[in-house]
């Protein structure tokens, strides 16, 4: 038995006829770039995420960069963010020419808002914050909002792993002037390729984002700003609009059921379930656990031998990547002990909605049977 982290072929079998009709629809329409499918998908996605405007982009990375630039970030501006995330979070800051500032994470692995607050209070000239709703957990939105207002921050929420996540009934995306999400195939809402979206409640920012993803033009051949080509394909929009987005609520429910199954079934003294933030209604992009650093290789080998494909998110902190050294402009606040701990100890268990109960039970049995 092989329990994959992402059994894509099962998703393909389930969505096959909807995907094929979406492809037929676009092929027949004769309109392949920024047509009606992108427009309708953006609107459906915005509704799902709880915002006014969605702007389809070529990737999550681009959505974050466009969001930062739409908010006016410029070279030398500091952007406070987390050292523990997909590298793209920080790459967006670098591509916008700004200076990432890293503070430590909290015991859930998400940006530590106490430390973020301390930084903003000591550096009144820092006006940008790029927090990540990591693992599908939602950061404390009340605190984030209070911090935004108190320090007059421009906030871009990285929702690449957290589409639909909530904090006490409030949706992730509700604090940032802009949010970004990704349709990379492993994400909760994946495409059959790359894609992403910028999300916002502000019409003016939506307009800038739409223009920026399309060569900076406002109308045909009228280029008013420094843009890029980061359009979401009509084909991908069509596929997501009628095959994956309509399934997302069901998939999220399934991820929550899997997380509950793990929470009640895992009982190995050396495997600690990472606590979710208390008010978070998580969407469980991943199911993270911690094992002590010197035993992690053995734990991973044990899972592999049991046919379980586990992951590590993330083995190397962002400020320690070679690309940062080459870039030069960044700051690290303190020794980042908690982020370091995640980098050494974290293991992600399979959480795909396409995994069956017997497979989740097999993962639980494998974990519980581990002899360190």
Ligand X SMILES: *Cc1c(COP(=O)(O)O)cnc(C)c1O
Positions in the binding site for ligand X (CB under 6 A):
59-61, 85-86, 88-89, 132, 158, 160-161, 182, 184, 194, 196
Bridge partners of 290, per DSSP, are 272, 346
CB of 85 to ligand X, least distance (A): 5
Rounded to whole angstroms, the Cα distance separating 288 from 296 reads 13
CB of 188 to ligand X, least distance (A): 10
CB 106 within 8 A of CB 341: no
CB of 158 to ligand X, least distance (A): 5
Given the complex with ligand X, which of 162 and 347 has the nearer CB atom?
Answer: 162
**What is the secondary structure of 175-223 as a DSSP string?**
SSSEEEEE--TTSSS--SS--EEEEES-HHHHHHHHHHTBTTEEETTEE
- Roughly what angle, to the nearest 10 degrees, separates helices 60-70 and 87-95? 40
| CA angle, residues 142, 100, 290, in degrees to nearest 5 | 65
Given the complex with ligand X, which of 85 and 200 has the nearer CB atom?
Answer: 85
| CA angle, residues 124, 199, 14, in degrees to nearest 5 | 140
CB of 197 to ligand X, least distance (A): 10
Rounded to whole angstroms, the Cα distance separating 264 from 2 reads 23
CB of 200 to ligand X, least distance (A): 17
Rounded to whole angstroms, the Cα distance separating 154 from 156 reads 7
CB of 209 to ligand X, least distance (A): 16
CB of 345 to ligand X, least distance (A): 19
Structure tokens at 262: 């793990």
Given the complex with ligand X, which of 8 and 370 has the nearer CB atom?
Answer: 8
CB of 183 to ligand X, least distance (A): 7
Rounded to whole angstroms, the Cα distance separating 344 from 309 reads 18
Instruction: Report H helices in the chain.
Output: 8-29, 36-49, 60-70, 87-95, 113-122, 141-150, 203-212, 234-239, 245-265, 293-305, 322-327, 337-345, 357-368
Q: In what order do the strands lie in the sheet with 280-281?
A: 170-171, 166-167, 280-281
CB of 59 to ligand X, least distance (A): 4
Given the complex with ligand X, which of 67 and 196 has the nearer CB atom?
Answer: 196
CB of 232 to ligand X, least distance (A): 11
Given the complex with ligand X, which of 174 and 181 has the nearer CB atom?
Answer: 181
Given the complex with ligand X, which of 185 and 216 has the nearer CB atom?
Answer: 185
Buried b / exposed e across 70-104, counting CB within 10 Å, b at 16+? bbebeeebbbbbbbbbbebbbbbbbbbbbbbbbbb
Given the complex with ligand X, which of 56 and 196 has the nearer CB atom?
Answer: 196
Given the complex with ligand X, which of 65 and 359 has the nearer CB atom?
Answer: 65
Given the complex with ligand X, which of 15 and 179 has the nearer CB atom?
Answer: 179
Q: What is the number of the residue whose Cβ is closest to ligand X?
A: 60
Structure tokens at 349: 């268990």
Given the complex with ligand X, which of 56 and 353 has the nearer CB atom?
Answer: 56
Rounded to whole angstroms, the Cα distance separating 71 from 310 reads 38
């Amino acid at each position: 038995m092989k329990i994959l982290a992402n059994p894509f072929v099962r998703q393909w079998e389930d969505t096959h006829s909807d995907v094929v009709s979406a492809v037929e629809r676009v092929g027949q329409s004769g309109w392949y770039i920024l047509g009606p499918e992108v427009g309708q998908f953006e609107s459906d996605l915005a509704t799902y995420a709880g915002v006014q405007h969605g702007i389809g982009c070529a990737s999550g990375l681009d959505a974050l960069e466009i969001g930062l630039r739409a908010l006016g970030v410029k070279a030398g501006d500091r952007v406070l963010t987390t050292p523990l995330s997909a590298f793209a979070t920080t790459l967006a800051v670098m591509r916008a020419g700004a200076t990432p500032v890293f503070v430590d994470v909290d015991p859930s692995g998400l940006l530590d808002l106490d430390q973020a607050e301390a930084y903003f209070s000591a550096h009144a000239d820092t006006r940008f914050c790029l927090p990540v709703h990591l693992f599908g957990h939602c950061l404390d939105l009340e605190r984030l909002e209070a911090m935004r207002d108190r320090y007059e921050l421009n906030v871009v929420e990285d929702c690449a792993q957290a589409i639909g996540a909530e904090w006490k009934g409030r949706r992730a995306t509700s604090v940032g002037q802009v949010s970004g999400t990704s349709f990379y195939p492993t994400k909760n809402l994946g495409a059959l390729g790359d894609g992403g979206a910028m999300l916002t409640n502000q019409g003016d920012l939506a307009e800038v984002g739409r223009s920026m993803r399309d060569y900076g033009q406002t109308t045909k051949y009228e280029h008013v700003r420094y843009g890029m080509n980061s359009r979401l394909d009509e084909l991908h929009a069509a596929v997501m609009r009628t095959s994956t987005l309509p399934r997302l609520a069901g998939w999220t429910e399934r991820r929550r059921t899997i997380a509950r199954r793990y929470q009640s079934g895992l009982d190995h003294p050396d495997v600690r379930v990472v606590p979710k933030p208390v008010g978070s209604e998580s969407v469980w992009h991943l199911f993270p656990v911690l094992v002590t650093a010197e035993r992690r290789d053995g734990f991973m080998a044990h899972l592999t031998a049991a046919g379980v494909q586990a992951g590590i998110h993330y083995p190397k902190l962002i400020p320690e990547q070679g690309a940062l050294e080459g870039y030069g402009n960044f700051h690290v606040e303190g020794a980042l002990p908690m982020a370091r701990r995640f980098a050494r100890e974290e293991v992600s268990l399979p959480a795909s909605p396409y995994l069956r109960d017997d497979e989740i039970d097999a993962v639980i049995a494998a974990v519980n049977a581990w002899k360190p």
